[in-house]
Amino acid sequence: MRKKWALFTSMMALVFILAGCEPLLVLDPKGPQAERQANDILLSIGIMSVIVIVVMVILAYILIKYRASKLPDDYEPPHIHGNKWVEIVCVGVPILIVAYLSFVSVKSNYIVESTPEGYENQEPLVVYASSSDWKWHFSYPEEGIETVNYLYIPTNRPLEFKLYSYGPITSFWIPQLGGQKYAMSDMVTTLHLAADEAGEYMGRNANFSGKGFAENTFNVTAMSQADFDEWVDEVHQTAEPITESQFEKLLEPGHLGQMTFTGTHLEFSPAPEHAHNEVSEDAEENQEHSNHENHTEVETDHSGH
């Protein structure tokens, strides 16, 4: 048993040294949602480590104390049925731990499913992120821009991703900004994120979608609102408009580099926001209007920094 312990500790040490060169992506959050998730993860690792250690200590103690080679030959183990108090502790303590973690879990659910904390007063940037085999299409309806396989986002502003897929179920994931969510062909899902820091982040499809899955990644660049606006202007000056036939071609299975267009495919190939979402669709339109109005507000807000 001791051998096993030594092995185990040395192995874990080795693993941490190997991994220790850089912080793990998920535990190196750059946005409020990812931070909440990283905190939950660290909290649960802490509590769970205590449980594992307690079980291991009890096990080691029992194995050392009651191994046959240490006991007299005539020792005959007693017949024990159970003890009410021991069982109450064995049920009660796990219930308390699970209750506490459930409480944290439920609270976090509502946090990650809504506009990031501290960003409630700002209008979100809405980006439609749709996947096709094996690419990502990002449509910025308010800005009238569409990109392929790369995403520019402003920092310190809530981001609302509308996810759907032209094909198999995929999962939109930028580990350092927050957890993933599925993109499916017959409905639109919403993912709330925000970036606190400017920088380049890895984004990918996390859900297996066939042959080109491994390379189904995209680059995320977070920048200040001013830089973002500059980029929007630049795109409008330099990029070509996206056409329906061109978009059809983009959808064909394969890999593409990064591309930039003006206009969005939403105009001729709208997102699958179905009848049962009619109410929210109306809400969307209203929101879009207000977004346009608020856009300037956000800008002034930013120049005030």
For residue 134, whether the previous peptide bond is cis, meaning omega lies within 30 degrees of 0, is yes
Residue 13 as a binder of other proteins (CB under 8 A): the answer is no
Residue 278 DSSP one-character state: H
**What is the spatial distance between Cα 155 and Cα 199, in angstroms, rounded to a whole number?**
9
Phi and psi for 93 in degrees, rounded to 5?
Answer: -65, -50
Task: Name the one range near other proteins by CB under 8 A: 169-177, 244-252, 255-263, 294-302.
Answer: 169-177
Concatenate the DSSP letters of all residues of 194-222 into one string.
--SS-EEEEEEE-S--STTGGG-EEEEEE
Sites for other proteins among residues 215-274 (CB under 8 A) = none
- Among 32, 141, 158, 168, the residue binding other proteins under the rule CB under 8 A is 168
* Smallest gap from residue 155 Cβ to other proteins (A): 21
Footprint of other proteins on 34-63 (CB under 8 A) = 34, 36-38, 40-41, 44-45, 48, 51-52, 55-56, 58-59, 62-63
Closest C-alpha to 151, from 256, 31, 259, 299: 259
Q: Which of 298, 54, 18 is nearest to 156 (CA)?
A: 298
Among 6, 13, 105, 226, binds other proteins (CB under 8 A): 105
CA 271/CA 284 separation, integer angstroms: 12
Q: Quick check: 169 binds other proteins (CB under 8 A)?
A: yes
7 touches other proteins (CB under 8 A):
yes
Please give the DSSP secondary-structure letter assigned to residue 31.
S
Q: Minimum Å distance from CB 59 to other proteins?
A: 6
Scanning 88-96, 143-151, 227-235, 281-289 for contacts with other proteins by CB under 8 A, the matching segment is 88-96
Binding residues for other proteins, total number by CB under 8 A: 96
